[in-house]
Amino acid sequence: MQATLDHTMMRVEDLDASLDWYTTHLDYEEKGRWEADTFTNVFLGPEDVHEEGALLELTYNHDGRSYDHGDAWGHIAVRVEDVYDAYEELMDEGVEDYRDPDSCGGSYAFVRDSDGHEVEIVERDHGAKWSLDHTMLRVEDADAAIGWFARKLEYDLFRRSEHDDFALYFLKPEGAADEAMSVELTYNYDGRSYDVGDAWGHVAVRCDDLHETWDTLMARGAEDYRDPASCNDRYAFTKTPDGQEVEVVTRD
């Protein structure tokens, strides 16, 4: 199954402010836009995003609603060559000083965008600067979550990090390019539960044939949440065991 991660969708309350934040601070450019009667979707990414790289989708609903971030979604992460240089660059541009590299052991850092979504900065030797490296999801049962991505989407566990009170698991399709985005599953050992909220929308995986992929997911026991027919045969949605939405889309 082809299931490279295509994009991560986040909802925003002020589209102009959000676009300004990402185009100014991460040098993103608009890659696509869908204007509907009640909402606008804008797709963003670096100018030289890899062909297997993921984009960021910002969704703005025209009714002026506000959102609850919940805690089942953690953050997106973007790539840089040097985390200290990148963080200082953002501070010089007026970005909020949230979690600097020193507070994170010198290997990563965090900022927040204009809607409060967390953006991790990680050092990588591949991918365009600021390109999406991973999206972090918190899970209540690590074995079940890893099994879902492995069984339903044929993802490989390519990196893990075990700590005293939590563990991190990174997965993406077998053979995916280094530049492809991965999912990071965070499991806290204290047995806490999580609220999905509504400020985060979904991660999306791309496929060659929507209906064939959907049929495979159904045969493998994925949740029949929004089938292709209910989405005008343009896309479909299932859910992880923790309730995070996964969109299935086709790309030319």
d(CA 8, CA 133): 11
CB within 8 A of 252, min separation 6: which ones?
none
How many Å is the maximal CA-CA distance in the chain?
52
Query: Which strands form 166-173's sheet, in the order they lie side by side?
Result: 108-112, 118-123, 73-80, 132-139, 182-188, 166-173, 155-162
Cα-trace Rg, the chain? 17
Catalytic residues: 247
Residues of 199-210 as b/e, b for ≥16 C-beta within 10 angstroms?
bbbbbbbbbeeb
Which phi and psi angles does 86 have, rounded to 5°? -65, -40
Residue 205: alpha-carbon gap to chain centroid: 11
Extract the tokens encoding 80. 């840089």
